[in-house]
């Protein structure tokens, strides 16, 4: 496990500030989400440091146990942020985690229902893919070379945005999903970022956890 704080060079921060200058660094990674007392994976003192005693072999099962259909979107975002960072330590686990969430999303869609559980399954698969993408984009940044290469090898050309779009189609008025979509679009599509951010701000008054985290868009 990591035992020191990793510094991301200015060049990488600039990459993620191109579209949404208010966001410093990879927005799905560098900014832990405030989930209050909600259950998530065990974690350490800063954004990149998990628990050194955490057994990564348990990651897939532990993540699935937290991502129940009723778990709030913000809790899902923080859990997937932690899971992605843990997974970057072990390519086999990283692949298993992504395959597990993709399989769940595919099964939900094939069942042909538009329940909240289906929307959340699609969300989890898309959000993890995009979080992996941001780890892979760190490239050879200080302390990240091996972990970035591990994740890049797992995701290949996978695109989580299509999962996110299908999630939004099922739950267009969910402010927390719009918040997540804004952060996903932040480094690539300024117009999409602004549209999703506006809808997220509109929904913040209805979602206490979203209200705690909406400042990440300001």
What's residue 49's pLDDT?
Answer: 83
What's residue 22's pLDDT?
Answer: 47
Q: Which residue has the tokens 């300001």?
A: 218
* Residue spans of alpha helices (H) in the chain: 10-17, 59-66, 73-87, 91-110, 116-136, 145-155, 161-170, 175-185, 190-203, 208-213
Residues 27 and 186: beta-carbon distance below 8 Å: yes
Residues 196 and 214: beta-carbon distance below 8 Å: no
pTM: 0.89
**Best CA proximity match to 129, nearest among 63, 75, 195, 83:** 83
Measured in degrees and rounded to the nearest 5, phi and psi for residue 152 equal -60, -40
Sorting pLDDT into bands at 50, 70 and 90, what band is 4? very low
CA-to-CA distance for 105 and 27, rounded, in angstroms?
24
Sorting pLDDT into bands at 50, 70 and 90, what band is 116? confident
Q: Is the pLDDT of residue 123 over 70?
A: yes
Q: Is the pLDDT of residue 53 over 60?
A: yes
Sorting pLDDT into bands at 50, 70 and 90, what band is 79? very high
For 124-147, the pLDDT digits (tens) are: 999 999 999 999 998 866 678 999
Sorting pLDDT into bands at 50, 70 and 90, what band is 8? very low
On average, the pLDDT of the chain sits at 89
Maximum C-alpha span of the chain: 46
What's residue 141's pLDDT?
Answer: 64
Residues 193 and 17: beta-carbon distance below 8 Å: no
**Best CA proximity match to 195, nearest among 166, 165, 170:** 165
14 or 43, greater pLDDT: 43
What's residue 24's pLDDT?
Answer: 58
What's residue 7's pLDDT?
Answer: 44
Residues 123 and 177: beta-carbon distance below 8 Å: yes
């Amino acid at each position: 496990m990591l035992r020191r704080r990793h510094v991301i060079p200015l060049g990488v921060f600039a990459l993620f500030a191109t579209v949404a200058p208010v966001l410093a660094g990879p927005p799905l990674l560098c900014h832990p989400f405030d989930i209050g007392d909600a259950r998530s994976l065990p974690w350490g003192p800063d954004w990149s440091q998990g628990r050194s005693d955490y057994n990564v072999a348990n990651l897939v099962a532990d993540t699935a146990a937290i991502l129940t259909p009723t778990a709030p979107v913000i809790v899902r975002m923080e859990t997937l942020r932690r899971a992605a960072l843990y997974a970057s330590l072990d390519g086999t686990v990283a692949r298993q985690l992504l395959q597990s969430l993709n399989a769940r999303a595919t099964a939900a869609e094939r069942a042909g229902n538009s329940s909240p559980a289906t929307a959340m399954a699609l969300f989890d698969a898309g959000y993890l893919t995009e979080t992996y993408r941001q780890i892979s984009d760190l490239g050879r940044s200080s302390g990240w070379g091996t972990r970035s290469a591990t994740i890049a090898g797992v995701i290949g050309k996978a695109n989580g945005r299509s999962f996110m779009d299908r999630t939004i189609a099922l739950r267009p008025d969910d402010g927390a999903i719009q918040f997540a979509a804004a952060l996903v679009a932040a480094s690539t599509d300024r117009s999409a970022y602004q549209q999703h951010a506006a809808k997220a701000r509109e929904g913040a008054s209805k979602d206490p956890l979203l209200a705690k985290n909406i400042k990440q868009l300001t």
